[in-house]
Structure 1
Amino acid sequence: MNICWKRIRPALAALACVGLAGCNWVLLDSKGDVGIAQRDLIIICVALMMIVVIPAIVLTFVFAWKYRAGNTKAKYIPEWAHSNKVEIVVWGVPLIIVAILAVIVWKSTHELDPYKPLDIPGEPLHVEVIATDWKWVFVYPDLGIATVNQLNFPAGQQLAFDITSNSTMNTFFIPQLGGQIYAMAGMRTQLHLVANEPGKFDGMSGNYSGHGFSNMKFIATAMTNEQFDTWVAEVRSSPEQLSFDEFKRLAVPTRKEPVRHFATVEPLLFKKVIDQFIGVGENTAATSGHNVETKASQE
């Protein structure tokens, strides 16, 4: 058994290295102010934790080597039980690191609040995001247009997202721009992002929501202002219109939904999507109570 394991172990290690070679470290390749701040926070926190982790790992091997059975020069102290110096290091260093981390996290939590508008000049571009099974619907209320699985915007302009879900819980996530926030039925969450430069960024849901979850992706494209204006004109030339009835047909579960454009959008569509879930529990309870009363009166 030991011989087999010795032969298999190098193969497993090589396989792990091959797997890691395909990793896409998008979180460390941030292209927006929020993403860069979150990336730096991750690096700082990991570096601080490594102050404890790395010495602990190194000392494990040092102690094992120094106090091995064959080392007769190692000092043998069978009655040793306590050392103030060891206690200060063991407890003091982690406490200091935890205190530093607490201050950093408290400060960054307030600075990177997703509901907090970014300190960027100019009016933000408002986008209403609706998660459905299994696609993303993006409504541009100020422009009167909508898309499916395509998010375009000008680089350098703040994006103010209002986010909800038409069914199960999802998370709206563009890793290179930062932030990740839940999309929940009957609720509205908010997120503010910006892309510092033009480019294409992968968007996704980070919360499993059923069979089509793996294809619930979109491309977020940061453009120049001229390119964005051209794209808006292209969307407005589409023959499709997004009414609430059309949205309900669109929201039927599908997989690998292609990009679609809607030249017009029914006013307050986003609010209607949220409102359809408000009071559902109360209405159900009231209906059940009415049915019980009706049945009792009939008896």
Structure 2
Amino acid sequence: MKLSKAPRWFACFYMLVLLLLTTTGCADNIIVLDPKGPIAEQQKDLMLISTILGSSVIVPVLILTAIIVWRYRDRKGRKAKYTPNWEHSTKLEVIWWGIPIAIIAALAVITVRSTYALEPSKPLASEKKQLTIQVTSLDWKWLFQYPEQGIATVNDVKFPEGVPIRFEITADSPMNSFWIPQLGGQMYAMSGMAMTLYLQANQQGEYWGSGANFTGKDFAKMYFNVESTTQEDFEKWVNKVKAESPKLTLEGYKQLAQPAASGVKSFSAFPEGLFEKTVTKYASSHHHGMSSKDMQDMQMKE
């Protein structure tokens, strides 16, 4: 059945309104657009700039497509100029080749500068001493070790606000991806490799962390709690873990590494050099962001 003009216009208008309402309702759930740290803020700016530059081509093309379809539609009394022998326009060629080339060049410059500025293993400038947290991806859980504090946790990570965090990331399981969306982009966790990722939270709060790479049956349960606190609260939490939590033994780690989902756990101690042994037992020589001296130190600790 062919609709008249009024119902067709109403249907198009209704679809447009529905689309706007749907995308607006989802905006609050896009946590990557609500950054809480310097890295995530720069990444958000990069996404917005790339979107704007891309839209400067896409939006005019869509508008022109609609205008051309409307203007040159088949109808009685059509006044559009008929030029069957037209084949070239220098002005149009310059427009539809020059503008995309300029945009691609701009994106290239922005990408190169951002790639260097956002290199994940590049330390963050700060007057505060950085905190090292060693991250091990297991089936299907995350183990966090605090080498300076001597404690460990499962699926729960805490750190002070405004302090640069050096995450050293590996896996004792299939490859996964470590991700705290509001603090920065993801970093792969791979067996036999030690990856380095610097992040920082600029304010106190609770954030969401997750594995971003499919690893099997309980992949959906592989998320962890992230909390940025004051320095005083962080030290109280460390002391509480030391006083109330059991120790993680080597045998306990072997059981923890077995494929199974897990809740939040904490340990007052862990085997010395556990992270280093996890990395080096797979005999890989590739380490992103870790110097040869770091790896030699790992070997000496065994």
TM-score by length of 2: 0.85
**Could you say which residue in structure 1 is the equivalent of 2:131?**
125
Following TM superposition, by how much is the alpha carbon of 1:79 offset from its aligned partner in structure 2, in angstroms?
A: 0.3
Q: 1:25 corresponds to which letter in structure 2?
A: I
Distance 1:251 1:15, change over 3 A: farther
**Could you say which residue in structure 1 is the equivalent of 2:258?**
252
Quick check: 233-242 or 190-199, which moved more? 233-242
**Could you say which residue in structure 2 is the equivalent of 1:241?**
247
Q: How many residues align?
A: 274
**Could you say which residue in structure 1 is the equivalent of 2:46?**
41
In the alignment, structure 1 residue 231 sits paired with structure 2 residue 259: no
Unaligned runs of at least 5 residues, structure 1: 280-299
Task: Spell out, residue by residue over 1:10-41, the C-alpha distance to the aligned partner (whole angstroms, 9 max, x if none).
Answer: 89x96996597356110110000000000000
Task: Spell out, residue by residue over 1:67-109, the C-alpha distance to the aligned partner (whole angstroms, 9 max, x if none).
Answer: 1112521011000011111110111000000000000000000
Distance 1:2 1:66, change over 3 A: closer
Unaligned runs of at least 5 residues, structure 2: 285-302
Counterparts of 2:219 and 2:23, CA distance in 1: 22
Counterparts of 1:264 and 1:16, CA distance in 2: 52
In the alignment, structure 1 residue 208 sits paired with structure 2 residue 227: no
Asked whether the equivalents of residues 181 and 189 of structure 1 are also in contact (C-alpha less than 8 Å), the reply is: yes
Counterparts of 1:145 and 1:19, CA distance in 2: 43
Indicate which of 92, 98, 122 corresponds to 1:92.
Answer: 98
**Could you say which residue in structure 2 is the equivalent of 1:66?**
71
In the alignment, structure 1 residue 57 sits paired with structure 2 residue 70: no
Following TM superposition, by how much is the alpha carbon of 1:275 offset from its aligned partner in structure 2, in angstroms?
A: 2.1
Counterparts of 1:271 and 1:47, CA distance in 2: 44
Following TM superposition, by how much is the alpha carbon of 1:121 offset from its aligned partner in structure 2, in angstroms?
A: 1.4
**Could you say which residue in structure 2 is the equivalent of 1:32?**
37
Following TM superposition, by how much is the alpha carbon of 1:265 offset from its aligned partner in structure 2, in angstroms?
A: 1.4
Task: Spell out, residue by residue over 1:178-233, the C-alpha distance to the aligned partner (whole angstroms, 9 max, x if none).
Answer: 12110001111010000000000100011011111101001110000111011101
In the alignment, structure 1 residue 187 sits paired with structure 2 residue 193: yes
Counterparts of 2:150 and 2:118, CA distance in 1: 30
Distance 1:2 1:217, change over 3 A: farther
Query: How many percent of aligned residue pairs carry the same amino acid?
Result: 40
Counterparts of 1:247 and 1:276, CA distance in 2: 15
Pairing of 1:162-201 with structure 2 (within 5 A): 162-201=168-207
TM-score by length of 1: 0.86
Quick check: 240-249 or 136-145, which moved more? 240-249
